[in-house]
Amino acid sequence: INYQRATFLTSAPDIKALPADQGIEVAFAGRSNAGKSSALNTLTRQNSLARTSKTPGRTQLINTFSLDADRRLIDLPGYGFAKVPLAVKEKWQKSLAEYLQKRQSLKGLVVLMDIRHPLKDLDQDLISWAVASDLPVLVLLTKADKLASGARKKILLEVREASMAFMGDVTVHLFSSLNKFGLDEVEQVLDTWYQA
């Protein structure tokens, strides 16, 4: 797949407003500041496709991008931002779970986690919901450039080990938008999802 061809499609306030449930889509999710926008920009080789460094938690929009007539990338709102009211959080978690359960065109979920803070509660919930919906999950340990090679390998092995507990199709890779570390692996996994 030529990820450079991504173009902005729509911003949806909730899952009901997403494009028609046809073709194949892959969704990106992660805590605010995990490096999701940077990863989307790196994948698509576009500096400002997904905006980076917006006020965390403010924009709860689902941004959608088209790769071609049948394939989409979905940028889910970042979660885990402390200042969001509990009611908003709960509403969002409910619709996220519903999206993972009901969306026919969704063929895979990418979960981004800062390598220095992996597998927080909400990350684990999200992976559990995806596995329960038979969705494959690609966990990206982002900002891998922040750690020395020995330290990041250790965390990679720990997270891979912990991921076995989900009893699903969960792949874990290191990633860095700064030096493109792990980009080939991401493309390989996404290519198989988009081919399905």
Neighbours of 79 (CB within 10 A): 23
Cβ distance to ligand GDP smaller for residue 33 or 66: 33
Pairing mode of beta strands 24-30, 71-75? parallel
30 scored as a contact of ligand GDP (CB under 6 A): yes
Stretch that binds ligand GDP, among 9-17, 65-73, 147-155, 174-182 (CB under 6 A): 174-182
Does the protein bind ligand GDP through residue 176 (CB under 6 A)?
A: yes
Q: Which of 58, 91, 146, 153 binds ligand GDP (CB under 6 A)?
A: 146
CA atoms within 13 A on the CB side of 23: 15
Of positions 12, 19, 32, 125, contacts ligand GDP by CB under 6 A: 32
Smallest distance, ligand GDP to C-beta of residue 41, A:
8
Are 109 and 27 within 8 A, CB to CB? yes
CB of 12 to ligand GDP, least distance (A): 17
Instruction: Check residue 52 for interaction with ligand GDP (CB under 6 A).
Output: yes
Is the Cβ–Cβ distance between 64 and 106 less than 8 Å?
Answer: no
Should residue 145 be labelled a site residue for ligand GDP when binding is judged by CB under 6 A?
Answer: yes
- 172 touches ligand GDP (CB under 6 A): no
Work out how close the CB of 20 gets to ligand GDP at its nearest, in angstroms, rounded to a whole number.
26
Nearer to ligand GDP, 80 or 136 (CB): 80
What minimum distance in Å lies between the beta carbon of 195 and ligand GDP?
Answer: 27
Q: Could you write out the three-class secondary structure of the chain?
A: CCHHHCEEEEEECCHHHCCCCCCEEEEEEEECCCCHHHHHHHHHCCCCCCCCCCCCCCCCCEEEEEEECCEEEEECCCECCCCCCHHHHHHHHHHHHHHHHHCCCEEEEEEEEECCCCCCHHHHHHHHHHHHCCCCEEEEEECHHHCCHHHHHHHHHHHHHHHHHHCCCEEEEECCCCCCCCHHHHHHHHHHHHHC
68-127 binders of ligand GDP (CB under 6 A)? 78
The residue (of 103 and 116) whose beta carbon lies closer to ligand GDP is: 116
Could you tell me the smallest distance in angstroms from the CB atom of residue 143 to ligand GDP? 4
Span interacting with ligand GDP, options 83-91, 93-101, 124-132, 137-145, rule CB under 6 A: 137-145
